[in-house]
Structure 1
Amino acid sequence: MGEREELVYKSKLAEQAERYEDMVKFMKTVAYMDPLMSIEERNLFSVAYKNVIGAKRASWRILQGNEGSDKNDKNEKNEKVQEKKCKAIYQNKVEGELKHICHEVLDILTTILGKEDSNASESKVFYYKIQGDYYRYLAEFTKGNERQQVAEKSLVAYKSASECAKVLVATHPIKLGLALNFSVFYFEILQSVERACEVAKEAFDEAIQQLDDLSDDRYKDSTLIMQLLRDNLTLWTTDMPNQEEQEGQRVEDLEGDHEES
């Protein structure tokens, strides 16, 4: 067993044991090797980092939403101030970990896309999509100019992926996954409900028209993502009595938005 094969095997073992930090280490090494990753390897790479970043995103959201109890008297107010400082320090720690992981993935993707065959549309869609995802993750918690910059980079990456995806059939899981995550980007980051719905609906409608031609090996993955697209469309197009209620609902709905893993 060569070094590459051993790393892939260890990565599979780590996935089974749910030791995703180890899985990341193994697949990071593979990602920098020549030749470029196979379909199996790039899926392992994606799963490893998605599980690690997913846990930290969940932690950040809990901290972001945990405001603590109200304090009334002077001593309690002082205690409240200390609690806020303590929480801010801890939240900054989590954000630092998130940034580290995102930039690590983005550096790897820059290297891979620099080597990628210009004719390899499927793999380029895959990598540009992940690039868009990780810039989106950065945009979730950054602020000001930094948030604007990473949001713009996420948009560029998703658009590059969409351009490459034109040659793929509408039911291709990678193309559907791209549409799903791109629409979530429009909804969550740019807060453009209309554009989010347009992207999701177009992908869903085109896939429905080609559903009869879907091969058996892709049927499960493709139809699952189509269901997630439809779920989001239902969620986003629900009529709201007024704008204030819509804004309130949007905050609650973010946790419910579905994206491809």
Structure 2
Amino acid sequence: MEEKIFMARVAEQCERYDDMVEFLRPILKEKGGNFSVEERNLLSVGFKNLIGGKRTAIRTITAIEQNPKYTRFGTALGHYKKRIEGELQKNCQDIIDMIKGDAMKTSDDIEGKAFFLKMVGDYYRYMAESAQEAVLEKARQGALQSYKEAEVAGRELPACNPIKLGLALNFSVFYYEVMQDSKQACLLAENALQEAMNKIDEVDEETFRDAKSIIELLKENLTLWKEEEGDNNIEDL
């Protein structure tokens, strides 16, 4: 197991994220949800970077499609985007299945359970970004259920806990981008922000540093949403 963790870090430095996930897969199967904080962070990096390039590619192609100069290439662009969307959907479903099949069955602490439920919600949300019809509805409902379950699981966590704050950030982004419910997005973000600001002076230096970065993202999103500006590329974790 130590060797797999080491090789996952090597793969990360090599920016070989497919390999990174493959090195982490047997560890997730063996340890389930009982990951250390460092191991959870490694898992997050591997998963997020595995699909990050595909999310960016889809946004880039969508922007090109909207340029009148390239209308004549619309069919080719559409086929290319659909191919990348298929890869992203497959990667996200694979990640969700791994977490549900291994981590969710054995995670035995509040923080770990909230972390993995949030992660499931995130990858359903990433699926929803480019999904259509039945797949879109499945992804919406999967994200909504997982985020709500993560909220319940993390209810007893301190207001400035980075996982709890990150959940509020990403859940609010889900409401804004996927559900197109800006009122609920703002309400969720504002509540988390207010609770965190009330407790921020009571936390240790490391928690303060982690919490502060998420608080700034919550503030930025609220500013965008309330001004009804931007292009919906809202920050998340």
Q: Name the counterpart of 2:231.
A: 253
Question: In 1, Cα distance between the equivalents of 2:178 and 2:208?
Answer: 30
Question: Which residue of the other structure, out of 2, 8, 13, is the alignment partner of 1:11?
Answer: 8
Offset at residue 70 of structure 1 (A): 4.4
* More moved, 35-44 vs 131-140: 35-44
* More moved, 21-30 vs 94-103: 21-30
Q: Tell me the TM-score normalized by structure 2.
A: 0.94
> Is 1:174 matched with 2:172?
no
Asked if structure 2 preserves the Cα contact closer than 8 Å seen for 1:7 and 1:26, the reply is yes
Question: In 1, Cα distance between the equivalents of 2:69 and 2:60?
Answer: 18
Offset at residue 45 of structure 1 (A): 0.8
Gaps of 5+ in 2: none
Question: In 2, Cα distance between the equivalents of 1:230 and 1:108?
Answer: 33
> Is 1:47 matched with 2:68?
no
- Return the structure number with greater relative CO, CA threshold 8 A, min gap 6: 2
Counterparts of residues 1-261 of structure 1 (less than 5 Å)? 4-34=1-31, 36-67=34-65, 68-70=67-69, 80=72, 83-111=73-101, 112-117=103-108, 120-238=109-227, 246=228, 249=229, 252-255=230-233, 257-260=234-237
Question: In 1, Cα distance between the equivalents of 2:61 and 2:135?
Answer: 21
Structure 2 letter corresponding to 1:58: T
Offset at residue 88 of structure 1 (A): 1.8
Asked if structure 2 preserves the Cα contact closer than 8 Å seen for 1:14 and 1:22, the reply is yes
Offset at residue 115 of structure 1 (A): 2.3
User: For each residue in 1:118-176, what CA deviation from the matched residue of structure 2 results, as whole angstroms up to 9, or x when unmatched?
Assistant: xx110010000000000001111111232112101100000000011111000000000
* More moved, 135-144 vs 10-19: 10-19
Asked if structure 2 preserves the Cα contact closer than 8 Å seen for 1:28 and 1:45, the reply is no
Q: Tell me the TM-score normalized by structure 1.
A: 0.85
Report which of the two structures shows the higher radius of gyration computed on alpha carbons: 1
Question: In 2, Cα distance between the equivalents of 1:59 and 1:108?
Answer: 25
Secondary structure of 1:30 counterpart: helix
Structure 2 letter corresponding to 1:161: A
Question: In 2, Cα distance between the equivalents of 1:175 and 1:98?
Answer: 26
Corresponding residue pairs, total: 234
Deviating above 6 A after TM superposition, structure 1's stretches of 4 or more consecutive aligned residues are none
Asked if structure 2 preserves the Cα contact closer than 8 Å seen for 1:30 and 1:37, the reply is no
Identity of aligned residues (%): 37
The CA RMSD over aligned residues, in Å, is 1.6
Structure 1 letter corresponding to 2:232: L
